[in-house]
Structure formats: C-alpha cells, structure tokens
Structure 1
Amino acid sequence: MAVVSLDIDTFLEKLAQQPLLLDVRSPAEFAHAHIPGAVSLPLFSDEERKVVGTAYKQESRQQAIKIGLDYFGPKMRPMVETVEKLNAGKEGVLVHCWRGGMRSGGVAWLLDLYGIKVFTLKGGYKAFRQWVLAQFERDYNLQVIGGYTGSGKTEILGKLARHGEAVLDLEALADHRGSAFGHLGRAEQPGQEQFENKLALALHALGAKPFWVEDESLRIGSLFLPNNFHDQLRKAACVFIDIPFEERLDHILKTYGSFPVDQLIVAILRIQKRLGPLETKTAINHLVEKEIRQAFAILLKYYDKFYTKSLNSRPADAKPLNRLNAVAVDTLRNTQLILQACSIP
C-alpha cells in the first residue's frame, strides 16, 4: 500500500463516509479548534512541539527531525495499537496535521507500514480553514423563521426537520439559545473557530438546496455569525410567527423558570448595560422575591423592543416579511401554518 494525499474537496468526500479521522497536532492546537469528528492523536506534546519548532527555527530542519524522531520512537507501538482499536470495522484512516507536513507524514508512514490504508490532507488543517472561510462567501437559499423571543422557533425548526424539510439549527451549533438565559442547562459554547468549522460543514452538507433557519442576531451567546452569512440571513424571505406576549411569557417560564434563582440573576447581570440599571434592579428584586413571572416579563419586553428595532432596520433589498398570526406557542399548529403559507404539503 501507499499513502494517498488528497485535496480538500476529495478529503471531505471521504470524511462524509465517516472514517476514522486522526488529528496529529498537539493537544493545545486540537483544543483550540479542529475538524468536527476528529480524534486527537498527537505526535508531539505541547512542550515537545515547542522544542522541535525552536530547533527548526534556530538550528536546522535536520536537527528538528532528529529531535522529533527521539520523541516519536517510543510512541510508535502505542500509536499503532491505539489506531488499530479505533479503526476496527472501518476502511482507511484520514490523517492531518497543521500544514500537511512532517507530523502527518510521519504518522501516515507508520500506519501504512503496519498495513493500514492511509489518506492525508494536502495543506493540512490550514487548508481546511481556508475552505471553511470560503463557505461563508457562498450564496445560500435561506428561508427564515422569525418571531419574538419565546415564540418556540427552535421547536418549529425541529418539527420541520421531522417533516422532511432541510434545516440549519444555528443555536444547536453554537450550543446556546440566544437570549440572556440561553446558556442555562447547556454545555460550554465552542470557541469561535470551532463554531465556524461546525457551521461550514453543516452548510456544506445542505448543498444547494433551500433550507430553513431561525432568525438570529449577529451574536449567539459569545459567538458571532460570519458577516456575509448574517447579511444573507437579514435579506432572506422571512416567515414571522406573531404570538401574543402572555403566551410567549408562559413558554419562557416553562423553559427557564425552574433554574436556580442565583443562575438567573447572573444571566441578567450579563446584559445589565443594555437592560439599564433600573430594569436590572427591578428584575433581580422580583427574582429574589420569587416573582419569576414579573422578572421574565421585564426581560421579554426588552427583547421585544430589541427585535422590533431589528425588524424595522431590515435592508432595503430584503425579501418580503410574511407575518403569520398565531394564538399560542403550539409547535404542531404553527409549523402547519408556516408550511401552508409557503404552499408546502
């Protein structure tokens, strides 16, 4: 056998078949961001990478390779045995490092020598990142679901997906529900670069077909949507589900009302500059007095004001806003309303 080097497009075609994907960069590089689905199998530790890199810059490539071999030698057998277990039942292994150079080359040589079919990525993770950024410059066929906070838009997206519609769930990718309380009950958000990696692959999987996406601001929690993609989101055709305030407030209470008061207070303090000192103080006092509905009502009014401003500032060349009146946060009924409005059986 021989190691096969793939360009990024062919590499992604292979990746779609869900093979074992090995990232042989250092643990710190992997932790910062990586190709979703990759397994970390570092050739060098963070400190070893630093030593090899210093030798390369200050001495020579040959000296760096010698030092690298000293580190690599004792790891060969454990690495082969690890890959053998991870690769059970799969055909072929994808391997990459930062630039597609010595690290992926060394590991690929070892695995190929052992008899494992190996594919490497030309240009490494750097090439993948260039591909990621290019995805956000493409044009997409978006159909946006809008609605004030508490309208159950995320639930509608899920129902549309079960109906067979193509869906992009930005909040799931960002691991955040978008509001001040959006992080509650969820894992820590990925870093910005990792979020972009996940988003690019999700967009790639959708291809050229139209898909549904929830209306989002530029920022989701601590993360930002790529500017060009967000511009498309702002200009796309939007179906706006208009639900009465009290119905949405009920929905917010069901979603977040059971979280500990101290967590709710911390969430409010995160937006105190935008909410204002008086409203912040009043909302927190309501929470302290166990008046959860009153506290949430203050926040919902704030978000309604913010969202109305966003609607009124849609670009002049934006596609029409189709406003649908709904009586309650009813996922099934509101999904049917949307499908009927768009003439989808």
Structure 2
Amino acid sequence: MTQALALSDFLAAPGVLLDVRSPAEFAQGHIPGAISFPLFTDDERAQVGTCYKQQGRDAAVELGFALAGPKFAGFITQARSLAGNGPVRLHCWRGGMRSEAVAWVLGMGGLSVTTLVGGYKTFRRWALTVPAWTRPIWILGGMTGTGKTAVLHALAERGEQVLDLEAIAHHRGSSFGMLGQPPQPTNEQFENEIAVRWAGFDPTRPVWIEAESKRIGLCRVPEPLFRQMDRAAVLELVRPQAERLEILVRDYGGFSTDDLVAATERIRKRLGGLRTQEAIALLQARRLPEAFDLLLTYYDKTYTYDLTRRSVPRYPIEVAGLSAAECGDRLLAFARALPATVSEDPPALCDLALTPDG
C-alpha cells in the first residue's frame, strides 16, 4: 500500500524515513532523522540528467530503469532490514519519479509506503520559515568559562525547552570551539535541525538559548531566529575568575599543546602579537591556568562589547561555587518570577543581581 501525504502529516507519520536522493544531495541537507537510501549514485544521477537534457524525458526514464533495475531486489531487502515489520516513509527532491519508482518497488515487496507530496523541496521551504515563529526566550549569558553549556544541559534535564545551537553546529563558538567536535554540518543541515526543534517547542513555554554570535564556526544562525535572540532578556552567570579558569582547564586541558596553540594563533590579530606569544609560551609550558587567564582578556572584551550593543534586560546571577545542576535550579527560581518575552522595543538595561542569599 502506498499513499502520499502533505508535509505535516508526513513528518508526524510513523515509520523509518528514507531519502532516495543521491548521496551528494543528502550530504548537502536532509530531513533530520532521515537515512540515505539513494536510487542513483551521484554519477548515475548525472548520467540521467545529461540524458534528459540531450535526448528528452523518455530516454532518461529508460536509462534510469536500466541503471536502477538491477538494484530493486536489494532495495526491498535493505528496506526490510531498516523498517522491520513497520511502515516506510520516503521522499526525493520534488516528490516525482525517483520517489514514485522506489515506492512502487517497495510496495511490490509488501511494504507499506508513504511518500512526501512535493518532496524535500517542500520541507526546505517550510524549514526556512520556521525560525520566524515567535517563542518566549531566555538567553543564557555569562563570560567565557562560566559553564553555560553545562548549565544548559542541566536545564534540559529538568524538562526545560532548550535549543543547544552549539551542539547542533558541532562547535563551541570560540577559536577553540572545534576541538574534540565532529565535522560541522552544512549550513543547510544546520538550518534543518534548528527548524525541526523550533517547530516542536511549546509556544507557551520559554526556550533557553545560550548567548551566541551570528556565526558558530562555519554555521550561521538563521536571521529571523537571531533577531528574536537579540531582543530577549539575558540571565547572566557570574563566577569568580579562579572558577572560570578551573572550568576552562577541565574543558580544554585534555587537548594537545599543538591544538591549543593553533586555536590561539587563530585570534592573533585580535589578541595582539605580544599577548599571543606570551599565551603560546605558557601553553607550551603547560601552564594552562595562566595561559587561559591571558586569553580571557580578549574574550571578556568581546563579551562586554556585545552586551553594551544590546539594549535588553540583563540579570547578572551570582553562581560562585555552584554546580551546573545548582545553577539550573537558581536560574529557574529567578526566571519563574519574570516573564520571558520577545519584544520589538525591550525595556532599558537592568542590572538586578541575585546573590547566593537573594
């Protein structure tokens, strides 16, 4: 049995999700959770496309069946191993011949198949609109080394809605951000992942997002989402310098000296030649707290500049000596007393601080 569904029903439907486009198309961007299940290899797709342009549709269809036909039995076996006894969802670029052909083959093999009306192209149109959907937001701020990412995870563990942009981007956002991370996704895939998560959030509850610049490594935060982030109030973690250095040594001390030096070299122009050389010498001597203390002169200036640029409420929250879990509890206690809103005209900067006794 085969049926075609509109996007919202297709995404909500059960079953393994197969993307029958070529491997290169899949690598450029795909629906999160999809499995690459190509009808054609990249080279075969190019052959069919050239045939279509030079000889027309009928000749291209004939070539397509000649290339794909010997694979049909394998498609059924592979799909069964992925889906078990469950249904299969599949799509191509426009919801045309490629998905129809694979759906026919799998249907003949006894599988229940659902296709996507309009294909991946329809999903991409939708994904580009989603970041403009408004949500109440809390921005989790704090200077480098205050442990923001760990606190964000603690909030997620407490059932809060969290958009972890750095996790999606596979990058921690600084010159050291790629250390220990898998390769970054394409920007298209970054947008796709954000869209699915953003669409899944309850619009009546706040979303926690770590303070970020427009770019996280090579990935760009969608402009409509960044505008919402830029207007949202900031809950700012405040820790003593010594604790910040402990956190940085814990997070980055396990990487090789060469990796740390290369990351430092990437900010040479902004850090200054003399400070860069001093920091590198300290790294090479594995005097990591002193090296990171020097590097913070750059990162603290950058963070302070960004704060002064944004005319939004800012709530510094003292978290000295607190674990990530304790920070999460403190943030929630504070945030529940305030509305998390996105405003076109935010109120004036507020420096209300919450102390350990407050």
TM-score past 0.5 threshold: yes
Shift in Å at residue 117 of structure 1?
1.1
1:258-297 matches, within 5 Å, as: 258-297=254-293
Shift in Å at residue 258 of structure 1?
2.1
Tell me: CA distance 1:302–1:251, structure 2 relative to 1, closer, same or farther (3 Å): same
Q: Which amino acid letter does the alignment assign opposite residue 174 of structure 2?
A: S
Distance 2:33 2:84 in 1: 16
1:249 and 2:245 aligned: yes
- Identity between Structure 1 and Structure 2 (%): 44
Could you tell which deviates more after superposition, 326-335 or 154-163?
326-335
Q: Which amino acid letter does the alignment assign opposite residue 223 of structure 1?
A: C
Distance 1:13 1:144 in 2: 30
Is 1:43–1:72's contact at 8 Å kept on the other side of the alignment? yes
Q: Partner of 2:11 in structure 1?
A: 12
Q: Partner of 2:129 in structure 1?
A: 134
1:301 and 2:297 aligned: yes
Shift in Å at residue 279 of structure 1?
2.0
Distance 2:63 2:321 in 1: 67
Q: 2:105 aligns with which of 88, 110, 119?
A: 110
Q: Partner of 1:206 in structure 2?
A: 201
Is 1:265–1:284's contact at 8 Å kept on the other side of the alignment? yes
1:161 and 2:160 aligned: no
Q: Partner of 1:341 in structure 2?
A: 334
Could you tell which deviates more after superposition, 155-164 or 266-275?
266-275
Could you tell which deviates more after superposition, 159-168 or 194-203?
159-168
Q: Deviations over 1:236-279 (max 9, x none)?
A: 12211111222111110111112110011111122223222222
Q: Which amino acid letter does the alignment assign opposite residue 115 of structure 2?
A: T
Q: 2:142 aligns with which of 144, 147, 151?
A: 147
Q: Partner of 2:177 in structure 1?
A: 182
Is 1:248–1:329's contact at 8 Å kept on the other side of the alignment? no
1:331 and 2:330 aligned: no
Q: Which amino acid letter does the alignment assign opposite residue 143 of structure 1?
A: W
Alignment RMSD, CA only? 1.5
Q: Deviations over 1:168-197 (max 9, x none)?
A: 111111111222222212211111111111
Tell me: CA distance 1:204–1:222, structure 2 relative to 1, closer, same or farther (3 Å): same
Is 1:243–1:329's contact at 8 Å kept on the other side of the alignment? no
State the SS of the aligned residue for 1:115: coil
Distance 2:56 2:307 in 1: 59
Is 1:237–1:321's contact at 8 Å kept on the other side of the alignment? yes
Q: Which amino acid letter does the alignment assign opposite residue 10 of structure 2?
A: F
State the SS of the aligned residue for 1:136: helix
Distance 1:178 1:122 in 2: 37
Shift in Å at residue 89 of structure 1?
3.9
Shift in Å at residue 129 of structure 1?
0.8
Q: TM-score, normalised by structure 2?
A: 0.90
Q: Partner of 2:222 in structure 1?
A: 226
Q: Partner of 1:34 in structure 2?
A: 30
Number of residue equivalences: 336
1:98 and 2:93 aligned: yes
Distance 1:96 1:332 in 2: 42
Shift in Å at residue 297 of structure 1?
1.1
Q: 1:216 aligns with which of 209, 212, 215?
A: 212
Could you tell which deviates more after superposition, 203-212 or 232-241?
203-212
Q: Which amino acid letter does the alignment assign opposite residue 328 of structure 1?
A: G
Distance 1:137 1:212 in 2: 16
Distance 1:333 1:27 in 2: 45
Shift in Å at residue 329 of structure 1?
5.3
Q: Deviations over 1:64-97 (max 9, x none)?
A: 000001012101101111111111142x111111
Q: Which amino acid letter does the alignment assign opposite residue 333 of structure 1?
A: E
Runs of 4+ in 1 over 3 A off after TM superposition: none
Could you tell which deviates more after superposition, 182-191 or 61-70?
182-191
Q: TM-score, normalised by structure 1?
A: 0.93
Could you tell which deviates more after superposition, 70-79 or 268-277?
268-277
Distance 1:41 1:277 in 2: 51
Is 1:152–1:329's contact at 8 Å kept on the other side of the alignment? no
| Structure 1 stretches lacking a partner, 5+ long | none
1:51 and 2:50 aligned: no
Distance 1:32 1:332 in 2: 37
Q: 1:239 aligns with which of 227, 235, 238?
A: 235
Distance 1:162 1:293 in 2: 30
| Structure 2 stretches lacking a partner, 5+ long | 338-358
Distance 1:240 1:220 in 2: 20
